[in-house]
Structure 1
Amino acid sequence: MAKPKKTPRPKAQTPKGFRDYFGAEVTQRAEMLQAIAGVYHRYGFDALESSGVETVEALGKFLPDVDRPNEGVFAWQEDAEGDKPGDWLALRYDLTAPLARVYAQHQNDLPKPYRRYAMGPVWRNEKPGPGRFRQFYQCDADTVGAPSVAADAEICAMLADCLEEVGIPRGDYVIRVNNRKVLNGVLEVAGLAGDDKERERGIVLRAIDKLDRLGPEGVRALLGEGRKDESGDFAEGAGLDEAASAAIMRFVLANDIIKQKLQDGPAEYSQTVPGGIGFLIKDPQSRDANIAKIWNEEILAQLLSIVQPSKIGVEGLQELSTVSKLLAAQGYGPDRIVIDPSVVRGLGYYTGPVYEAELTFDIQDEKGRTRNFGSVAGGGRYDDLVKRFTGQEVPATGVSIGVDRLLAALHAKGRMQIMEQGPVVVTVMDRDRMADYQTMVAELRQAGIRAEVYLGNPKNFGNQLKYADKRGSPVAVIEGGDEKAKGVVQVKDLILGAQIAESATLEEWKDRPSQFEVPRSDLVAKVREILAQHGIGK
Structure 2
Amino acid sequence: MAKQKKAPKPKALPPKGFRDYFGADVSERTEMLRQISEVYHLYGFEQLESSAVETVEALGKFLPDVDRPNEGVFAWQEDEDWLALRYDLTAPLARVYAQHRNDLPSPYRRFAMGPVWRNEKSGPGRFRQFYQCDADTVGSASIAADAEICAMLSDTLERVGIARDDYIIRVNNRKVLNGVMEVAGVLDPADPEKFAAERGIVLRAIDKLDRFGLQGVRQLLGAGRKDDSGDFTDGAGLDDTQTEIVMGFMQALGATPAETLSNLRALVQGSAIGESGVDELQEISDLVTAQGYGTDRILLDPSVVRGLGYYTGPVYEAELTFEIKDEKGRTRQFGSVAGGGRYDDLVKRFTGQEVPATGISIGVDRLLAALRMKGRVERSVLGPVVITVMDRDRMSDYQAMATELRTAGIRAEVYLGNSKNFGNQLKYADNRNSPIAIIEGGEEKAAGIVQIKDLILGAELAKDATLEEWKARPSQIEAPRGDLMAQVKQMLAAQGLSE
Whether TM exceeds 0.5 here: the answer is: yes
Residue 237 of structure 2 aligns with an amino acid whose one-letter code is A
Match of 1:339 in 2: 300
- Is the CA contact (8 Å cut-off) linking 2:62 and 2:310 kept in structure 1? no
Cα separation, partners in 2 of 1:495 and 1:365, compared to 1, 3 Å: farther
For the pair 1:403 / 2:364, whether they are aligned, the reply is yes
TM-score (norm. length: structure 2): 0.91
- Is the CA contact (8 Å cut-off) linking 1:47 and 1:118 kept in structure 2? yes
- Is the CA contact (8 Å cut-off) linking 1:62 and 1:72 kept in structure 2? no
- Is the CA contact (8 Å cut-off) linking 1:176 and 1:355 kept in structure 2? yes
Alignment partners' CA distance in 2, 1:252 and 1:482: 78
Match of 2:203 in 1: 205
For the pair 1:179 / 2:179, whether they are aligned, the reply is no
Question: What is the DSSP-based 3-state SS (H/G/I as helix, E as strand, rest coil) of the residue aligned with 1:109?
Answer: coil
For the pair 1:302 / 2:263, whether they are aligned, the reply is yes
Match of 2:330 in 1: 369
Alignment partners' CA distance in 1, 2:244 and 2:69: 43
- Is the CA contact (8 Å cut-off) linking 1:376 and 1:402 kept in structure 2? yes
Aligned positions of 1:301-320 closer than 5 A:
301-320=262-281
Cα separation, partners in 2 of 1:231 and 1:408, compared to 1, 3 Å: closer
Match of 2:476 in 1: 515
Note the C-alpha offset of 1:7.
4.6
**Which structure 2 residue ranges, 5 or more long, are not aligned?**
none
Note the C-alpha offset of 1:236.
4.7
Q: Of residues 406, 417, 422 in structure 1, which corresponds to 2:378? A: 417
Q: 300-309 or 197-206: which moved more?
A: 197-206
Alignment partners' CA distance in 2, 1:228 and 1:466: 55
Q: Of residues 160, 169, 183 in structure 2, which corresponds to 1:189? A: 183
Match of 2:285 in 1: 324
Residue 531 of structure 1 aligns with an amino acid whose one-letter code is L
Aligned positions of 1:443-462 closer than 5 A:
443-457=404-418, 459-462=420-423
For the pair 1:10 / 2:4, whether they are aligned, the reply is no
Question: What is the DSSP-based 3-state SS (H/G/I as helix, E as strand, rest coil) of the residue aligned with 2:164?
Answer: coil
Q: Of residues 434, 440, 444 in structure 2, which corresponds to 1:483? A: 444
Q: 446-455 or 225-234: which moved more?
A: 225-234
- Is the CA contact (8 Å cut-off) linking 2:203 and 2:307 kept in structure 1? no
- Is the CA contact (8 Å cut-off) linking 1:422 and 1:471 kept in structure 2? yes
Match of 2:250 in 1: 252
For the pair 1:356 / 2:317, whether they are aligned, the reply is yes
Q: Of residues 486, 499, 521 in structure 1, which corresponds to 2:460? A: 499
For the pair 1:132 / 2:130, whether they are aligned, the reply is no
Cα separation, partners in 2 of 1:90 and 1:230, compared to 1, 3 Å: closer
Alignment partners' CA distance in 2, 1:72 and 1:349: 15
Note the C-alpha offset of 1:537.
3.8
For the pair 1:116 / 2:82, whether they are aligned, the reply is no
Note the C-alpha offset of 1:233.
6.9
Residue 205 of structure 1 aligns with an amino acid whose one-letter code is L
Total equivalences in the alignment: 491
Alignment partners' CA distance in 2, 1:204 and 1:91: 28
Cα separation, partners in 2 of 1:316 and 1:52, compared to 1, 3 Å: same
Note the C-alpha offset of 1:232.
6.9
Q: State the identity %.
A: 73
Note the C-alpha offset of 1:468.
0.2
Alignment partners' CA distance in 2, 1:199 and 1:70: 18
Note the C-alpha offset of 1:350.
0.7
Question: What is the DSSP-based 3-state SS (H/G/I as helix, E as strand, rest coil) of the residue aligned with 1:171?
Answer: helix
Question: What is the DSSP-based 3-state SS (H/G/I as helix, E as strand, rest coil) of the residue aligned with 1:254?
Answer: coil
Match of 1:166 in 2: 160
Note the C-alpha offset of 1:126.
2.1
Cα separation, partners in 2 of 1:346 and 1:420, compared to 1, 3 Å: same
Question: What is the DSSP-based 3-state SS (H/G/I as helix, E as strand, rest coil) of the residue aligned with 2:149?
Answer: helix
Alignment partners' CA distance in 2, 1:366 and 1:301: 41
Note the C-alpha offset of 1:89.
1.4
Alignment partners' CA distance in 1, 2:143 and 2:98: 22
For the pair 1:86 / 2:80, whether they are aligned, the reply is yes
Match of 1:74 in 2: 74
State the Cα RMSD in Å: 2.5
Cα separation, partners in 2 of 1:68 and 1:435, compared to 1, 3 Å: closer
For the pair 1:465 / 2:426, whether they are aligned, the reply is yes
Q: 160-169 or 18-27: which moved more?
A: 160-169
Note the C-alpha offset of 1:376.
0.7
Cα separation, partners in 2 of 1:157 and 1:212, compared to 1, 3 Å: same
Residue 89 of structure 1 aligns with an amino acid whose one-letter code is L
Match of 1:280 in 2: none
1:245-300 CA distances to partner (integer Å, 9 max, x unpaired)? 44433321123xx34xxxxxxxxxxxxxxxxxxxxxxxxxxxxxxxxxxx323322
- Is the CA contact (8 Å cut-off) linking 1:190 and 1:247 kept in structure 2? yes
Cα separation, partners in 2 of 1:515 and 1:60, compared to 1, 3 Å: same
1:461-504 CA distances to partner (integer Å, 9 max, x unpaired)? 11110110110111111122333333332211111111221222
Residue 212 of structure 2 aligns with an amino acid whose one-letter code is L
Match of 2:31 in 1: 31
Match of 1:48 in 2: 48
**Which structure 1 residue ranges, 5 or more long, are not aligned?**
79-84, 260-294
- Is the CA contact (8 Å cut-off) linking 2:168 and 2:318 kept in structure 1? yes
- Is the CA contact (8 Å cut-off) linking 1:431 and 1:458 kept in structure 2? no
Cα separation, partners in 2 of 1:462 and 1:296, compared to 1, 3 Å: same
Cα separation, partners in 2 of 1:323 and 1:462, compared to 1, 3 Å: same
Alignment partners' CA distance in 1, 2:6 and 2:245: 70
- Is the CA contact (8 Å cut-off) linking 2:69 and 2:119 kept in structure 1? no
Alignment partners' CA distance in 2, 1:511 and 1:89: 66
Note the C-alpha offset of 1:240.
2.9
Alignment partners' CA distance in 1, 2:486 and 2:230: 72
Q: 213-222 or 183-192: which moved more?
A: 213-222
- Is the CA contact (8 Å cut-off) linking 2:62 and 2:309 kept in structure 1? no
Alignment partners' CA distance in 1, 2:125 and 2:230: 29
Match of 1:279 in 2: none
Question: What is the DSSP-based 3-state SS (H/G/I as helix, E as strand, rest coil) of the residue aligned with 2:323?
Answer: strand
Note the C-alpha offset of 1:358.
0.9
Residue 120 of structure 1 aligns with an amino acid whose one-letter code is G
Question: What is the DSSP-based 3-state SS (H/G/I as helix, E as strand, rest coil) of the residue aligned with 2:60?
Answer: helix
- Is the CA contact (8 Å cut-off) linking 1:180 and 1:347 kept in structure 2? no
Aligned positions of 1:85-104 closer than 5 A:
85-104=79-98
Question: What is the DSSP-based 3-state SS (H/G/I as helix, E as strand, rest coil) of the residue aligned with 2:102?
Answer: helix
Residue 386 of structure 1 aligns with an amino acid whose one-letter code is V
Alignment partners' CA distance in 2, 1:533 and 1:366: 41
For the pair 1:535 / 2:496, whether they are aligned, the reply is yes
Cα separation, partners in 2 of 1:479 and 1:346, compared to 1, 3 Å: same
1:296-350 CA distances to partner (integer Å, 9 max, x unpaired)? 2332223223223322222111111111222223222222111111112126321
Q: 303-312 or 319-328: which moved more?
A: 303-312
- Is the CA contact (8 Å cut-off) linking 2:68 and 2:120 kept in structure 1? no
Question: What is the DSSP-based 3-state SS (H/G/I as helix, E as strand, rest coil) of the residue aligned with 2:445?
Answer: helix
Question: What is the DSSP-based 3-state SS (H/G/I as helix, E as strand, rest coil) of the residue aligned with 2:390?
Answer: coil
Match of 1:474 in 2: 435
Question: What is the DSSP-based 3-state SS (H/G/I as helix, E as strand, rest coil) of the residue aligned with 1:462?
Answer: helix
- Is the CA contact (8 Å cut-off) linking 2:132 and 2:361 kept in structure 1? yes
- Is the CA contact (8 Å cut-off) linking 1:377 and 1:402 kept in structure 2? yes
- Is the CA contact (8 Å cut-off) linking 1:185 and 1:314 kept in structure 2? yes
Match of 1:238 in 2: 237
